[in-house]
Structure 1
Amino acid sequence: MDCSKQLRNPQAEEQQIHQWQTKSELSAYSVHDQSRRSANYKPNIWKYDFLESLNSKFDQGECYLIQMQKLIKDVKKLFVECKESDVIAKLELIDSIRKVGLNNHFEQEIKAALDAIASAELENNSNPCISSEGDLYAAALFFKILRQQGYQVSQDIFGRFMDEMGTLKKSTSGNVKGMIELLEASNLAFEGEDILEKAQAFLIATLRDTNTMWDEIDSSISKHVTCSLELSSQRRVQWFNVKWHIKAYEKNRTNQPYMTTLLELAKLNFNEVQATLQKDLREASKWWYNLGLTKNLDFARDRMVECFMCAVGLAFETDHKSFRKWLTKVINLILIIDDVYDVYGSLEELKHFTRAVERWDVMETEQLPECMKICFQVLYNTTCEIANETEEENGWNQVLPQLCKVWADFCKALLVEAEWYNEAYTPSFEEYLSNGYISSSASLIFTHAFFATKHEEGVDDSLHMNEDLVYNISVILRLLNDLGTSAAEQERGDAASSILCYKREMNVSEEIARKNIKSMIDNAWKKINENCLTRNPKISSSYINITTNIARVGHILYQDGDGFGDQEQGTRALIQSLLVEPLS
C-alpha cells in the first residue's frame, strides 16, 4: 500500500472502512461464535453528544488573556521583590507556583532564582537551609525543589536530623510540616541513599500512626499527610493535582502576600487550559465517532476519553496540541489491539495479524475476520498520518520505519502472551518481565513522544542513551497494570500476570507477592530519579518529563483497580474535574 496516497485522501479511508463495516454487518458477524472469549467490558459512559456540548467561555475571552498577562507580570515582580537573603520565601514561592500548575510561565525566573540559591547553598554553605541552624522543613523543601529541577544536592543535609537508627531526633520529630516535606523529598531518592531510605520508612510508619490525631487538630494537615502517604508528588501527574492544590491554598490562606495574586492567576490558567483541552477532546471524539470502530469491534474497550486523559497526563500544555492528538489515537489503538490479542483472536489469526504488522502489508490480513482487517487498516492509516505530520511539523526524516518497528515489537510481545495462554504456560518471573516490559506499551509511547519533541540527537542515539529510563518506566507500567487488573483477569482466565508468576516461582502468598512487586516499583523509581538527574544535556528536560509522566499516568490509572476497564470506579471523577468542570 502507498502510505502517502492514504494520507492525501482521508475520505477514501473512511469510505473503505465503511464498506468493511457494512460487509461485517451483512455477515451478521459470524465470527462471533462460541469460541470467542469476552472480557465483558461495560459500555462507554462518555457519550458523543455530551462531548460535543463541552464549551467554555474561556475559549473565546480576550479579556481573560489580557488579565492573565497582567497577573503573570505581577508574579514575575515577586521574584525581584523577594529579598536575596530570604531563601525560604523564594523556595516557597517556587513550590507554590509548581503546585498550582504555573511553572511553565516562569521557567526563566525559577531557573535564575535556583541558580543563585544553589550557588550560595552548595558552594558557601552560607544560608540557613543546610547550615546547622536550619530546620527540617527548610532543608527538606530545599532538597525537594532543587532535585526536582535537576540540581545536584546531597542527602547528607539530612544527617544531622536523624539518629543511628534512622529515626528523627526528638528535637525535630514534632515538626509536622518538616516531616511531610521530608517524606516528599525521600521519594526523590537514588539507589543507595540510605539516609533517605531510612527516613522514609520511619516517616511512613509515624505519619500513618498519628494522622488521626492531627485530623482532630488540623484537618488540612491530615489531608496533606493522607495525600503524601497515598502517593507522593513525585509519582503524581502534576496537572491532575492542580485543582486540589488551588482549593487547599484557598482554604488555608498563608500569610504570604503573593498568594491572592497567585491563586487568581492559577484559576484563570486552569480554565484557559481546560478550554483548549475541551476543544481538543471534541476533535478527538469526532475522529473516533467517524471511524465507527466500536460497531465492529464490540469486544474491545471503548475508552476514547480515558485515552485522551492519558495524553493530557503526558503533556497538558497548550502548545502540545498535535502531540495529544497523535497520542490519543495511539493509546486507543493500543487498547483495541491489546483486546484483539487478549480476548478475540485465535492463535492462528494473531500470528497472521502480527505478520501483517511486521511486514506492514495489508495483504497479510486477507485470511483474517473483517474486524481484524479493519483494525489493521486503521493502524496502518493512522500511523502513516502521524509519521507524515511529524515529519512536516518537526523536521524529522524516516519516522515511519521507527513507528512500524515499535508497533511490530508490541504485537510480537502480545503474541508471546497469547501463546502462553493457549499453552496454559506460566513463565518464570524474569521471563514474564523480559516480555512484559514491551507489552506494557511504554516504549511504543516513548518513541511517539520522541518524535513530538525536538532533539539534537537522532532517534537511535536517543533511545540508546535513554535505554535504562525506558526500561524502568516500562517495568513500572507493566507492574502497576498487573497490580490493578490481575484479579479481574484471573477470574476470566487470562494469561499469567507478574503476580501469579512471582507467587508460583517464590511459593509465596498473593499478599507477599504484591508487597514485593510494589518494592520493585519503588526501586525502579529510584533509578528513574537518577536517570533524570544525570540525563544527557542534549535531551530536553521537556521530553524527559513527558516520558516520566508515562509512569505517573500508570499510577493514576491502576491505583484503585483498572482505570480503563471500570470507568465508574476508576477515572470518572478525575475526568469530570479535569475536562468538564471549570474553577469558579
Structure 2
Amino acid sequence: MEHMKKFKQIRNIMGRTEDSLESLIMINALQRLGIDYHFYEEIRAVLSRQYENVCAGGFTSGDDSLYDVALSFRLLRQDGYNVPADVFKNFKDKEGKFILPLSKDIAGMMVLYEASHLAVEGENILDEANDFARQHLNASMMRLFDQDLARILGNTLDNPYHKSLARTIGSNGIVCHGRWWRDLGLAQELKFARDQPLKWYMWPMVTLTDPRFSEQRVEHTKPISLIYIIDDIFDVYGRLVELVLFTEAINRWELAAVDQLPNYMKILEAKRFASDNLPKAEEYLKNAVESVDLVDDIPGLISFPATILRLWDDLESAKVGDSDENQKGYDGSYVDCYMKEHGGCSVESAREHVEGMISDTWKRLNKESLSPNPFSPSFTKGSLNVARVVPVMYSYDHDQNLPLLEEYITSLLHESIAL
C-alpha cells in the first residue's frame, strides 16, 4: 500500500514537471530500479516530447550540457528513437576532437560513456566518445578520494547500462520450475549432466521481464533445461557412435524444424572434435550460430544475440578449466580455430579479436533494434536482454563458478528496493 502511494507521487511529479532534464533523470532512476514498467505511459509521454524537441532542433544551439545531451540520447535510442549521433558534434573542437575540459565533468563523462554503447556501425563519433570517456574516467578513478563515487564510476565502466541487466521481478517462477524439474527426474537419471535449475530459470527471468509473462517464463525454462542436458551429452559424455544414433533418433520425430537444419550440422561438429580436425574460424562460427538459429537468413534480432552468445561462450571456453563444458573434457572454441588458422597468433591476440567481433555484433544489433522490423517491442527488448545476460552466464572464475550470476541472483532475490 505504501509503495502504491509513492508510485502515485512519482506519476504526479512526471505529469506536472516542465523540466525535461528532471523527468529524464527520474526515468533513468526508475529503469535502474527495474520498476519502470509501472510508469509505462508516463515514460512514453516524456520521451515522445523529448524526441519532438530534438527533431525541432534541440541540442543544436550548443547551450546544453554534456550531461543533458548524453542522457537524452541514451534514453531515446534505448526506447527505439533513432536520434542522430551528430548531437555530440557541439562538444568537439575545430580539429574534430572532444573538448578536453569536458573530462572534468565526471557525471557528464559517465553518461557520455553510457550513451556511446548504443552506437551502430559507422558512427565513428560514438567510438571516439567511448575512447575519450573511458580514458578520462579511468584517470579520474585513480585520483578520487571519495570511495563511493569511485565504486560507482568503476561499475559504470565495467557494466554500461545498455549492455547490462536491469533489476527484474519474477522470482515466483523459480518455485514452479523447480517443482517441474524435480518431478521430471532427469537429475537422478543423468547424473553426468548439469543440475542447475536456478541458472536455467534466470535466462527467461531476465529476458522476459514484463510481469505479464510469468507463465511464459516458466514454460520457456523447460526447453532451456533440456538444451543444457543435450549440450552436456554432446560435449562431455557421449561417444561419437552414440551421438550419431542419438541424432538419428531425434530425426525420426520428423519435426519440421529439424528438417530445416543443415545436414552437416547434426554430427559434423562432434566428428571434428573427435578427430582433432578443427575447421576454419569462419566455418566454425557459421556452424555454431546455425546451431542456435535453426535456419538461414533469420532476422538480425535473433541471429546477432546468437552470435554474441557463441562468441562469449567460446571466449570463456578457451580458458581451459574455467568453463562448465570442461567437466570431463574440452570441445574446442572459435579462439582455437582462429589461432590455428592464423599461425603464430597468441591467445591474447585471438581473444582481443573475439572481443572486437562481439563489439561489432552489438553495433549491428543496436541498428536492428532501431530499424523497422516485424517484431513487437517486447520481442525486441527480449532480444537485447539475451545479449545482455550472456556475459553473466559465461564469465567463469578459476573455480568454475559464475560470480556475476551469483551476485545478480543475490541482488534480485534477497535485496529489497527502498523507495
Give runs of aligned pairs for residues 205-244 of structure 1, distance below 5 A.
Answer: 205-214=135-144, 216=145, 218-239=146-167
**Once the two structures are superposed, what CA deviation does each residue of 1:181-206 show, in whole Å capped at 9, x if it has no partner?**
00000000010001111121122222
Given that 2:396 and 2:402 are in contact with CA atoms closer than 8 Å, whether structure 1 keeps it comes out as no
Which residue identity does 1:222 align to in structure 2? Answer: A
Tell me which of 315, 324, 342 is aligned to 1:483: 315
Given that 2:197 and 2:225 are in contact with CA atoms closer than 8 Å, whether structure 1 keeps it comes out as yes
**SS of 2:221 mapped into structure 1:** helix
Given that 1:97 and 1:103 are in contact with CA atoms closer than 8 Å, whether structure 2 keeps it comes out as yes
Tell me which of 185, 188, 192 is aligned to 1:295: 188
Shift of 1:333: 0.8
Matched with 2:124 is: 194
Which residue identity does 2:280 align to in structure 1? Answer: S
Tell me which of 73, 77, 83 is aligned to 1:143: 73
Distance in 2 separating the partners of 1:414 and 1:233: 38
**SS of 1:171 mapped into structure 2:** helix
Matched with 2:358 is: 521
Matched with 1:539 is: 375
1:419 aligns with 2:271: yes
**SS of 2:101 mapped into structure 1:** coil
1:183 aligns with 2:113: yes
Tell me which of 53, 57, 78 is aligned to 1:120: 53
Which residue identity does 2:369 align to in structure 1? Answer: C
Matched with 1:77 is: 12
Matched with 2:289 is: 437
Matched with 1:367 is: none
Shift of 1:107: 1.5
Given that 1:354 and 1:412 are in contact with CA atoms closer than 8 Å, whether structure 2 keeps it comes out as no
Shift of 1:422: 1.3
Distance in 2 separating the partners of 1:569 and 1:105: 30
Q: Which has the larger radius of gyration?
A: 1
Shift of 1:581: 4.5
1:497 aligns with 2:390: no
Which residue identity does 1:433 align to in structure 2? Answer: L
TM-score relative to the length of structure 1:
0.66
Distance in 1 separating the partners of 2:45 and 2:403: 43
Shift of 1:411: 10
**Once the two structures are superposed, what CA deviation does each residue of 1:254-304 show, in whole Å capped at 9, x if it has no partner?**
xxxxxxxxxxxxxxxxxxx4xx52x32111111111122122211111111
Shift of 1:560: 4.1
Distance in 1 separating the partners of 2:95 and 2:387: 32
Q: CA RMSD in A?
A: 2.6
Distance in 1 separating the partners of 2:264 and 2:211: 35
Most deviating of 113-122 and 150-159: 113-122
1:349 aligns with 2:249: no
Identity of aligned residues (%): 31
Distance in 1 separating the partners of 2:188 and 2:280: 38
| Aligned CA distance change for structure 1 residues 560 and 229 (closer, same or farther; 3 Å) | farther
Give runs of aligned pairs for residues 6-25 of structure 1, distance below 5 A.
Answer: none
How many aligned positions are there? 413
1:474 aligns with 2:306: yes
**SS of 2:188 mapped into structure 1:** helix
Distance in 2 separating the partners of 1:574 and 1:411: 39
Matched with 1:108 is: 41
**Once the two structures are superposed, what CA deviation does each residue of 1:341-372 show, in whole Å capped at 9, x if it has no partner?**
011212121112112222317xxxxxxxxxxx
Distance in 1 separating the partners of 2:250 and 2:364: 33
| Aligned CA distance change for structure 1 residues 483 and 351 (closer, same or farther; 3 Å) | same
| Aligned CA distance change for structure 1 residues 141 and 582 (closer, same or farther; 3 Å) | closer
Unaligned ranges ≥5, structure 2: none
Given that 1:167 and 1:199 are in contact with CA atoms closer than 8 Å, whether structure 2 keeps it comes out as no
Answer 1 or 2: higher relative contact order, Cα 8 Å, separation at least 6: 1
Give runs of aligned pairs for residues 264-303 of structure 1, distance below 5 A.
Answer: 273=169, 277=171, 279-303=172-196
| Aligned CA distance change for structure 1 residues 188 and 326 (closer, same or farther; 3 Å) | same
Distance in 2 separating the partners of 1:102 and 1:577: 15
| Aligned CA distance change for structure 1 residues 82 and 550 (closer, same or farther; 3 Å) | same
**SS of 1:91 mapped into structure 2:** helix
Unaligned ranges ≥5, structure 1: 1-65, 241-272, 362-400, 445-459
Distance in 1 separating the partners of 2:356 and 2:366: 15
**Once the two structures are superposed, what CA deviation does each residue of 1:25-67 show, in whole Å capped at 9, x if it has no partner?**
xxxxxxxxxxxxxxxxxxxxxxxxxxxxxxxxxxxxxxxxx43
